[in-house]
Amino acid sequence: MTDWSFARVHPSNRGGIMIMTALGLAVLLAFVALVTDIGFLYFQKARVETAVSAGWKAALDLAAVSPVDANGGLTSQARTAIYNRVGEVINQTYGMTTTVAPLTWQVDYNTPIPTRNYIRVTAWYDTRLFFANVLGITNKTVAGWRGAPFEDGGEGVIPIGLPHGILRQWETHKFTFEKFGQGQGFTPGNEYILRLGNVKGSNAQPPDCGGTGTIPNPDPALQSLRNAANHGSLDMGSKGGGARDYEEFFKFGYPGPVNINDRIYFKPGTMHGPNDDGRDFRTLLHPELKRVVVPIIDWPADPTKVPQENNGSPQVRVIGFAIFDLIPVEDYTKQDPPTGLGVYGDNQDSDQVRGIFVNYLVHPDEVAGSLT
């Protein structure tokens, strides 16, 4: 006969088990609060930083065409308009949110003169927490910022290095470069070649394919990219990234900082396909993104010349930043010289990039004394 027996817990042990169970649940709940709420805060911070980046870019775009006073500082009306525009973009980008307080933002400038080229955007708000309420933590401030009044402000640039002067292209591997002197620079509203490209395939023949000016008598000493295939693309971060990185940086801007005196390698190869996709993405598919920040570069070995690639990929030095509105490729591949490159066939294209100059973020003359 089987003997069934049941163990009985002594009444004095029941209280200890309940206490241990309660403590275990409290620890588990605290861990859940930590994991859940910290993860939620990271998620919200990423969203805020994305919105702030969009607001900062909008601030730069509006500042570039806003009026300034006699000292070069943005007028009070311009700063008010920029502040309101930043708020619109931040809230549109971030969208709906559960907050204790509304999202707050501010726009800071260089002092004492609030110039166009040094703008910082900051935004923050108090967000409610979930499980952390058990520990008495009801909310936490989430913040993000972009740009800095005392930094170079080179975030979000496209991966093209623009010499400080006028490029005129004669044929695919030949061009001239007219370097600006002190006190000179790009003229707002004028069209410029930002990146060289393939000019084969048009109905025009050299030496007429000048673009922004003909070259009637080609000089045998024309600076040439004949021994390389670089048309002006930059290897952002100098990490040897591939075509996909180049295309993403062209479409959405390089996500890291780029500062005056930075050395950046030219990217080997023409990057024809990724370059065209990035350019067309900004000018045709999303024309609201046509305004870009372009690094101005020189060659420390000889600042009077455009660097060549005869012996590998040279490093160039960042000496300024400029704002351009990119031009759709059809605007200059469906026009005869000297304005255009000649008429291309429907299945042909040039990877040349052109833009209308808007303004400087940092003029090379401003930093000439600090170049290294």
Mean pLDDT throughout 28-55? 79
Average pLDDT over residues 342-361: 78
pLDDT at 225: 42
pTM value is 0.66
pLDDT tens per residue, range 177-229 = 778 889 999 999 888 989 888 776 555 554 444 444 444 444 544 444 443 45
> What's the pLDDT score for residue 340?
65
pLDDT in tens, 123-158: 888 887 777 676 677 778 888 888 764 444 455 789
pLDDT averaged over every residue in the chain: 77
User: By mean pLDDT, which of 25-39, 131-145, 163-177 is the weakest?
Assistant: 25-39
The larger pLDDT score, comparing residue 103 to residue 247, is at 247
pLDDT of residue 130: 74
Give the mean pLDDT of 314-333.
88
pLDDT for position 227: 39
Q: What is the pLDDT of residue 319?
A: 94
pLDDT for residue 236 is more than 60 = yes
Which pLDDT score is estimated for 311? 47
239 or 272, which is more confident: 272
**What pLDDT, on a 0 to 100 scale, did the predictor assign at position 182?**
92
Task: Find which of 30-44, 59-73, 146-160, 324-338 is predicted with most confidence, using mean pLDDT.
Answer: 59-73
Give the rounded percent of residues in the chain with a pLDDT score beyond 90: 19
Give the pLDDT of residue 250: 92
Please report, for the chain, the start and end positions of each structural domain, with discontinuous segments joined by +.
15-146, 162-370
Task: For residue 62, name the pLDDT band (cuts at 50, 70, 90).
Answer: confident
Task: Tell me if 322 sits within 8 A of 186, measured CB to CB.
Answer: yes
As a whole number, mean pLDDT of residues 25-48 equals 76
| Span 285-295, pLDDT tens digits | 988 889 888 99
Q: How confident is the model at residue 356 (pLDDT cuts 50, 70, 90)?
A: very high
Report the alpha-carbon distance of residue 14 to residue 207 in Å, rounded: 98
Q: What is the pLDDT of residue 158?
A: 92
Looking at per-residue pLDDT, the higher value among 15 and 218 belongs to 15
| Average pLDDT estimate for 149-177 | 73
